Amino acid sequence: GAGVSQSPSNKVTEKGKDVELRCDPISGHTALYWYRQSLGQGLEFLIYFQGNSAPDKSGLPSDRFSAERTGGSVSTLTIQRTQQEDSAVYLCASSLDRGRIYYGYTFGSGTRLTVV
Amino acid sequence: EDQVTQSPEALRLQEGESSSLNCSYTVSGLRGLFWYRQDPGKGPEFLFTLYSAGEEKEKERLKATLTKKESFLHITAPKPEDSATYLCAAVSGYGQNFVFGPGTRLSVLP
């Protein structure tokens, strides 16, 4: 596609429920990143995928968070047993490959998650 | 630990009133310093990459500069459409991922 597509754009869920957030990167982009943006905070790195390599999960805040990327394209971020502190905007970004980050990532518009 | 801070948190300017935004960074072996613009409800949009102290980049009314400890985003004669949150991010020599600052929320009044 022309840009990075994320869905849903907004999600309201009850505390304790599981949620799935989807990211469809730009076609041909092998690097995919997930970030979390909380009010008044900088973007927080969560996880990184590069081609068929094992993902860098070093930013995931707890074992309730997981992500997968199928076929080197679409990625799903799953949050289990959601807590109120999980409320944030979840941003996905892609780039041609890790070496191209110096040209900047392309970000999606994000999913705003609200846990009530 | 790599860290990026930005000031001010928010800035209100009159149209045409030039100013600068500050980004201070503490990273091990800076590989790149990035500026992004973020509009409400949108993802960040890439503006510039700076690699070494003394480097400058320009785009329309924006000019980014870099020293060994800071980067500045200078806005010359801003227009209301320049209103946005400006994010600064750094990549260190040992890390592979961006460390973002909290951003400066710029409002340009007509």
Residues of B in contact with A39 (CB under 8 A): none
What 8-state DSSP symbol labels residue A56? B
Q: Which CATH class is domain A5-115?
A: mainly beta
Q: Which two tokens stand for residue A60?
A: 């995931």
What is the Cα–Cα distance from A51 to A72, expressed in whole angstroms?
6
- For residue B94, the model assigns a pLDDT of 60
Q: B9: phi > 0 → left, psi -120 to 50 → alpha, else beta; which?
A: alpha
Q: What angle do CA A36, A38, A113 make, to 5 degrees?
A: 70
Residue B107 placed within a domain:
no
CB A21 within 8 A of CB A113: yes
Smallest Cβ–Cβ distance between B46 and the set A45, A91, A105 belongs to A105
Segment B7-30, tens digit of pLDDT: 999 999 999 999 999 999 998 888
Asked if A101 reaches chain B (Cβ–Cβ under 8 Å), the answer is yes
Listed as ranges, residues in chain B with pLDDT below 50 are none
B99/A110 Cβ within 8 A: no
Confidence (pLDDT) at A101: 63
Q: Does A87 touch chain B (CB under 8 A)?
A: no
- Would B108 be classed as within a structural domain? no
A43–chain B Cβ distance below 8 A for any pair: yes
Which residue range is the domain that position B86 belongs to? 3-94
Contact B22, B72 (CB under 8 A): yes
Instruction: Indicate yes or no: CB of A43 within 8 angstroms of CB of B97.
Output: no
Residues ≥6 apart with Cβ < 8 Å to B109: B12, B13, B14, B15, B80
Flag if A109 and B97 touch (Cβ within 8 Å).
Answer: no
Q: Is residue B36 part of a domain?
A: yes
CB A89 within 8 A of CB B87: no
Tell me, yes or no, whether B65 lies in a domain. yes
* CATH code of the domain containing B13: 2.60.40.10
d(CA B61, CA B13): 14
Question: Is position B56 within any domain?
Answer: yes
pLDDT digits (tens, 9 = 90+) for A16-66: 999 999 999 999 888 899 999 998 778 999 999 988 888 999 999 999 999
In whole angstroms, give the CA distance from residue A112 to residue A10. Answer: 5
C-alpha–C-alpha distance, residues B92 and B31, integer Å: 5
Residue of A nearest to B101 (CA): A42
Residue from the list B43, B49, B102 with its beta carbon closest to the beta carbon of A107: B43
The count of domains in chain B is: 1
In chain A, domain spans: 5-115
Q: Check residue A100 and give its pLDDT.
A: 59
